[in-house]
């Protein structure tokens, strides 16, 4: 019993506890840590919701593009006149826009012509053949290749995802001219 009293007396007379300043510093450090942690978690949740939206947009655009690739429409000039916009069947908050574009081959003769004075001179047979080949190539490629661009849009947040691909027109009237 005597031993207990001695220990209890030592505890009561102990002056080795924390001072008010030490407690305030500890609270300040904890407050900074807690505010950084809560802010980080909030930003993490925000980023997660943005990522979810981006993944949905990507999936909707890819699904629409795959539908077009598997079952392409008849590729004709009237497709390029307007864009087709429809709501996504699974989710009315999203819509897809499909746009068809014709393939365009630039006129390479303007680049390859050495200078303006050469127009006065006759072209060599090789140059004439190159022009003829390029002309036939240009006409056929512009008939055979089409670009389709699909844009998925979140109507509430106005975020978009755009994807495009090249389509081959199997019904193109390809001619090789005088070859």
β-sheet bridge partners, residue 85 = 97
Q: How far is CA 89 from the centre of its chain?
A: 21
Range of the domain at 90: 18-168
Claim: this prediction has a pTM higher than 0.85: no
Query: pLDDT tens digit string along 5-63?
Result: 787 777 677 666 677 888 899 999 999 999 999 888 888 877 788 888 899 999 999 99
Compute the distance between CA of residue 12 and CA of residue 32 in angstroms, rounded to an integer.
34
pLDDT in tens, 126-178: 888 888 888 888 888 888 899 999 999 998 888 899 999 999 888 888 877 66
Domain assignment present for 59: yes
Q: Is residue 27 part of a domain?
A: yes
Domain count, the chain: 1
Q: Is residue 4 part of a domain?
A: no
pLDDT at 121 over 80: no
173 is a domain residue: no
Instruction: Answer whether residue 6 is part of any domain.
Output: no
Residue of 94, 86, 83 whose CA lies nearest to 55: 94
- The neighbouring-strand residues paired with 151 are 97, 162
């Amino acid at each position: 019993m005597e031993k207990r009293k001695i220990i209890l007396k030592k505890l009561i007379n102990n002056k080795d506890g924390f001072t008010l300043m030490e407690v305030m510093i500890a609270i300040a450090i904890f407050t900074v840590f807690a505010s950084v942690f809560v802010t980080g978690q909030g930003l993490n949740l925000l980023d997660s919701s943005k990522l979810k939206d981006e993944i949905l947009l990507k999936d909707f655009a890819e699904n629409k593009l795959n539908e077009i690739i598997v079952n392409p429409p008849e590729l004709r000039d009237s497709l390029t006149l307007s864009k087709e916009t429809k709501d996504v069947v699974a989710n009315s908050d999203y819509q897809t826009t499909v746009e068809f574009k014709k393939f365009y081959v630039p006129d390479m003769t303007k680049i390859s012509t050495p200078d303006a004075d050469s127009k006065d001179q006759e072209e060599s047979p090789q140059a004439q053949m190159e022009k003829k080949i390029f002309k036939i190539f240009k006409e056929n490629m512009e008939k055979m290749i089409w670009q389709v661009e699909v844009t998925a849009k979140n109507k509430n947040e106005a975020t978009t995802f755009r994807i495009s691909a090249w389509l081959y027109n199997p019904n193109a009237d390809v001619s090789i001219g005088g070859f």
